[in-house]
Chains A and B, each alone.
Chain A
Amino acid sequence: MQLFRRSLNHLPLALVVGVGGLGAALTVGIWYYFSPRNLQVGYTPKQPIPYSHKLHVGELGLDCRYCHSNVERSPEAMIPPTQTCMGCHAVVRPDSPRLAALRDSWKSGNPVPWVRVHKLPEHAYFDHSVHLPAGVGCATCHGRIDQMDEVRLEMPLAMGWCLECHRDPGPHLRPQTELTNMSWKRDEASTVLAAVSVAAAGVRPPEHCTGCHR
């Protein structure tokens, strides 16, 4: 007796197409959606004080190192102490309501609870002070901070992404003079490039485990 409809004879085709398609979709889906590129890039938390890099860096032209003063001598670039902010804001807009939290911190001595944007996992040890001399600019990893009102994660701070540069640093390096220059563009023709590539020759970033994991 006939147990199944004729239509079931399309099963093999359906299987091939269905399973194959589903598999492909899943692969692509995971590949894209589960990647730090998707999960982390774009993270823009609300900060306790609406500090605008766009204003301070982009327009007022503060140098990064004015606030992140450790960047050349410590693994951590350091979030500036309230002190640093007050250095100006004691006189500049001393009573702007947007700075209330800052003034409270200054009075109470309690730190301003900034929200971390650029976070590496505990087992990854990144050192700012060694990347600068090598010619890695701020913008290379942090993006155009000078155009951000709120700090936003620009790059997927993932191992694979780090490795891209560690394997071939040359194209990512810039002259020491341009480290904090946000708008610096790599111009193949330029003369400084020669200098860079020379410098790059001396740069041998680690690719082995303990280069970054301890």
Chain B
Amino acid sequence: MSAVHPIGGPIAGPIAEIGETRLLPAHLTPALVSEQVTSVTERPARWGWWLYFGISLLFLGVLAVSVSYLFWEGIGVWGNNSPIAWAWDITNFVWWIGIGHAGTLISAILFLFRQRWRTSINRFAEAMTIFAVICALLFPLIHVGRPWHIYYTLPLPNQMGMWPNFKSPLLWDVFAVGTYFTVSLLFWYVGLIPDLATARDRARSLFRKRVYGFAALGWRGSHRHWRHYERAYLILAGLSTPLVLSVHSVVSFDFATSVIPGWHSTIFPPYFVAGAVFSGFAMVMTLMLIARQVFGLKDMMTLQHLELMNKIMLVTGSLVGFAYATEFFVAMYSGNEYERYAFTNRATGPYWWAYWIMLSCNVLSPQLFWFKRWRTSLPVMFVVSILINIGMWFERFVIIVTSLHRDYLPSSWGYFRPTLVDVGCFLGSLGLFFTLFALFIRWVPQIAMFEVKAILPGAQPNQHRHRVERHEPGHHAPPALASREA
């Protein structure tokens, strides 16, 4: 089927791709795109931004205080204990990592699937990924008893002649998350280069010009560059796709490879990935709704974009629900008394409330999106996206804490209560996230302008010429449709 034709055109081919219906309003021109997107970074910030930034900074301060106190006194200032050696720390880690999945997913997978509507939101989502992963990385670093020895986890030559244990899922984490962060960062920056050039050229003051100019690496839109650029982008997308899937799979190995009832489960990798995408989309949604309201980017983040995302949330949410059901079924069907107890205990034990919060937020609330009326209502989707964020946090809490607090020997069963420092570290990480985000939306073009421009009506040469070139070697589709036919 024809992959390339003016975006506004009729739906061609047997498959009605989501991306092929009209996404962007007809009046949008390249110049308008540049104007709308870049002007956000050019205008003086509104008081709303300052308020938001101020609050974020406040929470960042909370983080600083909590972590300093933690380092001074030791892990004991948290509620962790034996048997619940991991609690909020790893819960937050997994939660953030999950959130960090949407970005690369949207950029990479939707890119490979040629979902053109992604262009409006991928920059945004990628940024979110990077900040989320930063927050995620924070927790493994501070949750260890002796953070000043954390470098033991890296394969560095040392006088002890000791090496890390490559059998440990925790070490797999180090590499997986590290790789994920690096690749996402590269992916993001590569995507940014042309738009930084735009920002450079639109800038008035020499200072701004210099700053953006430096960041744009002297990009001059040369087509000889575009050629490699697109290929690089395609490859990065290709690499990121399995990476995204691998990262949360590896994170799930922390649990799946253990012997603890409720952790020791083969379903974890797919289940975690689905959950991650789920929570990631929810977070993107929350942020987009705000940004689009505050910065008037309604033209590019259209209601249809939001609806499409809601559909994905409906699917992933149901997947997660299915995973919950499967877990229960397997536990009961296995006849393993420990497994059975672990799951009955989740639903009816001391932490029953956490379990039911998780279930209602993650499985029930997205079901609203079966109905177009709610799928397209801003307030509804905002509330639901928040609910999902909460629910996914509780999912990790349920998996980690309720599985640990009652495992094999009843004599060692315990109960976990968070302390103020636990709360401080969590809220603090939110502060870190939103601070970074505030800076991002203020200084960086938050929509991939060149990609949007490329799919505007009439942005590409017309059909006739195109058909001619089809058969010529070295043809490249623009990024939005960058999969070579053959």
Contact = CB atoms under 8 A, between A and B. Distances in A.
Q: A and B: direct contact (Cβ < 8 Å)?
A: yes
Nearest to B213: A3
B213 A158 contact: no
B210 A160 contact: no
B159 A35 contact: yes
B161 A163 contact: yes
B14 interface: no
B158 interface: yes
Contact of A36 (B157, B159, B162, B209): B159
Interface string A11-35: 0000000000000000000010001
B52 interface: no
Contacts of A159: 159-162
Nearest to A207: B161
Contacts of B213: 3-4
Interface in B399-430: none
B443 interface: no
Interface in A150-209: 156, 158-161, 163
B204 to A, nearest CB: 12
A160 B160 contact: yes
A4 B159 contact: no
Interface string B202-216: 000010011001100
A158 B157 CA distance: 13
Interface residues of A, number: 13
Nearest to A31: B157
Interface string B458-469: 000000000000
A143 to B, nearest CB: 19
Contacts of B209: 1, 3
Contact of A158 (B160, B206, B210, B214): B160
Nearest to B203: A3
A1 B201 CA distance: 9
Contacts of A158: 159-160
Nearest to A36: B159
Interface string B122-160: 000000000000000000000000000000000001111
Interface in B180-239: 200, 206, 209-210, 213-214, 218
Nearest to A1: B209
A4 B214 contact: yes
Nearest to A160: B161
B203 to A, nearest CB: 10
Interface string B100-142: 0000000000000000000000000000000000000000000
A163 B159 CA distance: 10
A63 B339 CA distance: 68
Nearest to A12: B217
Contacts of A31: 157
A5 B200 CA distance: 16
Contacts of B159: 35-36, 156, 158-161
Interface centre among B158, B159, B162, B218 (most CB of A within 10 A): B159
A81 B158 CA distance: 38
Contacts of A4: 210, 213-214, 218
A4 B211 CA distance: 11
A160 B161 CA distance: 5
Contacts of A160: 158-161
A23 to B, nearest CB: 13
Contacts of A156: 159
Contacts of B200: 3
A167 B161 CA distance: 12
Nearest to A35: B159
A159 B159 CA distance: 6
Nearest to A159: B160
A172 to B, nearest CB: 16
Contacts of A35: 159
A105 B241 CA distance: 76
B326 to A, nearest CB: 41
A3 B210 contact: yes
A3 B217 CA distance: 12
A23 B158 CA distance: 17
A176 B161 CA distance: 30
Nearest to A2: B213
A158 B160 CA distance: 7
Contacts of A1: 209
Nearest to B200: A3
A19 to B, nearest CB: 16
A214 to B, nearest CB: 17
15 contacts: A1-B209, A3-B206, A3-B209, A4-B210, A4-B214, A4-B218, A36-B159, A156-B159, A158-B160, A159-B159, A159-B160, A159-B161, A159-B162, A160-B158, A163-B161
List 4 A-B pairs, minimum CB-CB distance, nearest first: A160-B161, A158-B159, A159-B160, A3-B213
Interface of A: 1, 3-4, 9, 31, 35-36, 156, 158-161, 163
Given A3-B209, A158-B160, 6 more contacts: A3-B206, A3-B210, A9-B218, A35-B159, A156-B159, A158-B159
